[in-house]
Amino acid sequence: MSERSPAGLGRLWRATVNSWNGLCSGAKSEQAIREELFALVLALPLAFLIGTTMARRLEMIAVVMLVLTVELLNTAIEKLADRVTMEHDSQIGRVKDLGSAAVGIALLIAGMVWVFALGERMGMF
């Protein structure tokens, strides 16, 4: 068991470094990712002001993280699609539109959670 643990920790460390590098790369190259990171920074204290329970606060932060996650995946899809061809291709255009739709839906989910939390804080629910 001890022989496998260092290797497992090594893989975990490399995965963590790769994740950090991907986040940094995305933040450097994509305005949308920078905006969502900013939203996450704002969401952290705001969730504690607005959320009425710890569970609600965590939900509020988690949905902002969900939006960031979907944006990162959408960016990866777009970068890969552009690597395949920079020429207009209707199938690649549809793939990019699907990724964009996923971001839009994640934003709607986040908005619903935050509006509900605000309503809850104001005694509307």
Question: Can you give the CATH number for the domain in which 37 is found?
Answer: 1.10.287.3610
Residues serving a catalytic function are: 71
Residue 103's contacts (CB-CB under 8 Å, 6 or more residues apart) are 32, 67, 70, 71, 74
Does residue 20 belong to any structural domain of this protein?
A: no
Q: Please report the pLDDT score of residue 104 as a whole number.
A: 98
Does residue 12 belong to any structural domain of this protein?
A: no
Q: Tell me the pLDDT tens digit for each residue of 2-53.
A: 455 778 899 999 999 999 999 999 999 999 999 999 999 999 999 999 999 9
Does residue 71 belong to any structural domain of this protein?
A: yes
Q: Please report the pLDDT score of residue 91 as a whole number.
A: 94
Q: Please report the pLDDT score of residue 85 as a whole number.
A: 87
Does residue 2 belong to any structural domain of this protein?
A: no
Does residue 98 belong to any structural domain of this protein?
A: yes
Does residue 92 belong to any structural domain of this protein?
A: yes
CA distance 31 to 24: 12
CA distance 107 to 64: 8
Q: Tell me the pLDDT tens digit for each residue of 41-60.
A: 999 999 999 999 999 999 99
Residue 114's contacts (CB-CB under 8 Å, 6 or more residues apart) are 50, 60, 63
pTM: 0.88
**What are the CA-CA distances from residue 122 to residues 13, 45, 62, 99, 117 (Å)?**
44, 18, 21, 35, 9
